[in-house]
Amino acid sequence: MGKVIVVTSGKGGVGKTTSTAALGAALACTGSNVVVVDFDVGLRNLDVVMGAERRVVFDLINVVQGTAKLTQAVIRDKRIDTLYLLPASQTRDKDALTEDGIARVIAELRMRFDWVICDSPAGIERGATLAMRFADEAVIVTNPEVSSVRDSDRIIGLLDSKTLRAERGERMMKHLLIARFDPVRASRGEMLNIEDVLEILSVPLLGIIPESEEVLRASNLGTPITICGRDNAPSRAYFDAARRLAGEDVEMTIRSERKGLFSKLFGRKAA
């Protein structure tokens, strides 16, 4: 049985889709079967970030409504053969998603894949609550900035109340992924530092993704950053995060852009 992860944030534009693609590809690199699922119905983007926009035939809504089989709708990645994409519909709206339908699709994905990574839409409406509804664990993507941290706090509240796990009284495991972090600005007191964000949100840290030009480059090319190049700072940070997600104990470092300066050590370990 595979594990279902929701990548969520509340606020838009913080890096949910980039992170879904990067973590999915990093996990698939180890040979695990991974499917990344786009829940952003009407505003799909995981397909372009994955570089599969011209190969979409059927989508999540078709599978939910039974007009296509799951095997027809999932798209196999051309670079990593254990990585798959289930795209969202671009023409329908989120009302086409039903809770029963999603439950069925998630159950089937869970049987077929080791990892089911759900890219949540922004906001706290139906689309976002459905994306998190059947998840086993959550990755909360936050930028070190007030509006993003505030929205993450709200999402944490929803994860603890609106998910099936929460309703059953089970533990909803949450991981914080801090993206667009600039260690230089944080050290100058111009940006919230890692400790501040962790103290405010009290969620264990999964990884720190440094602000980098490489992220835009990867999305321009339609390649998850972890496939694009393994030596750049954000790519290594995502690989570390993926290993922690898989349960490995990986030392927390801030991967820096500057050569020779890339390991400012932190005493903390991801829980």
Partner 1 sequence: MRLFRFLRPIRSAPVARERLQILLEYERNLVSQTDLIAVLREEILAVVGRHVTIDRDKVQIRVDRRAELSILAVGIQIPNETRMAAAARM
136/55 Cα distance (integer angstroms): 29
**DSSP code for 141:** E
Among 157, 170, 261, 269, binds partner 1 (CB under 8 A): 157
**Site size for partner 1 (CB under 8 A):** 17
Residues whose CB is less than 8 angstroms from the CB of residue 73 and which lie 6 or more positions away in sequence, other chains included: 57, 58, 59, 60, 62, 63, 86, 87
Site string for partner 1, 91-130 (x = CB under 8 A): ----------------------------------------
Query: For partner 1, which stretch binds (CB under 8 A), given 89-97, 142-150, 169-177, 222-230?
Result: 142-150
Residues of the chain by 3-state class (helix, strand, coil), percent to 5: 40, 20, 40
Q: Per-residue x/- marks for partner 1, 7-26, CB under 8 A?
A: --------------------
The CB-of-127 to partner 1 minimum distance in angstroms stands at 20
Q: Residue 152 is encoded by which pair of tokens?
A: 């993450």
Q: What is the DSSP string of 146-177?
A: HHHHHHHHHHHHHHTTTSHHHHTT---EEEEE
Asked whether position 169 contacts partner 1 by CB under 8 A, the answer is no
| CB-CB neighbours of 86 under 10 Å | 26
Could you say which of 173, 184, 200, 246 contacts partner 1 (CB under 8 A)? 200
Closest distance of CB 192 from partner 1, Å: 5
CA nearest neighbour of 155 among 20, 12, 257: 12
For partner 1, which residue of 53, 153, 182, 257 counts as binding (CB under 8 A)?
A: 153
Instruction: Determine which residue in the list 33, 65, 90, 193 makes contact with partner 1, applying CB under 8 A.
Output: 193
Binding site for partner 1 (CB under 8 A): 145-146, 149-150, 153-154, 157, 161, 186, 188-193, 196, 200
